[in-house]
Amino acid sequence: GESVGLHLPTLSVQEGDNSIINCAYSNSASDYFIWYKQESGKGPQFIIDIRSNMDKRQGQRVTVLLNKTVKHLSLQIAATQPGDSAVYFCAEGGSGLIFGQGTELSVKP
Amino acid sequence: KAGVTQTPRYLIKTRGQQVTLSCSPISGHRSVSWYQQTPGQGLQFLFEYFSETQRNKGNFPGRFSGRQFSNSRSEMNVSTLELGDSALYLCASTHLGLVGGGELFFGEGSRLTVL
């Protein structure tokens, strides 16, 4: 069936390093893709989105890359900070939202 | 402006009972969508309401239902509760709806425990 999945369940990085979180999707008809951050005890927080007709989009310290050829989505976080520690979800949207399982990012000081 | 508000934050029910959860969206947002989050299944889309009409529906049984009022507040109901319904139920609001994309604002969720 159609699904969005993450390659790695956990990711540990050193403070100041760049982080890359990956996601694979299977529904090539999705209109957009979104990255969310969820901290413990809180609801997901929007980070950045990208439309299906784009390859790259940049925000503040974050970049999302979309490779439609291999159905791959990635989130790059520059200069990772302790406050970036959270679970990150990718999601594909259109008529609903399909979420990946999440990657837990741990930032070591 | 005030964020998305969900009530109650925590509740405990027993099997066979029914539960109603409430969600107040951000002022001006016409779309409210609901999600179930569990450790095993992750975040799963339940349904979306837009201007009082159900616009999209995920793959959940008919025991899960919802509605939206004219002030955009939404409720979801789960009847004949099962142990597997224990989860964090999240709602989110957005102005354009899921079709339009863009930022989705989530509440902090209602944690349901079924005993």
**Cross-chain CB nearest to B42 (options A31, A45, A99):** A99
Give me B37's structure tokens. 């989050």
Rounded Cα gap, residues A72 and B47, in angstroms: 26
**Cross-chain CB nearest to A46 (options B45, B104, B107):** B104
pLDDT in tens, B32-46: 999 999 988 889 999
Rounded Cα gap, residues B32 and B24, in angstroms: 9
pLDDT in tens, A18-68: 999 999 987 878 889 999 999 998 999 999 999 999 999 999 999 999 999
Rounded Cα gap, residues B88 and B91, in angstroms: 10
Interface test with B, best of A33, A46, A103 (most B CBs within 10 A): A46
B45/A31 Cβ within 8 A = no
**Cross-chain CB nearest to A96 (options B42, B48, B103):** B48
pLDDT in tens, B57-71: 999 999 999 999 999
Note whether A51 contacts B: Cβ–Cβ < 8 A: yes
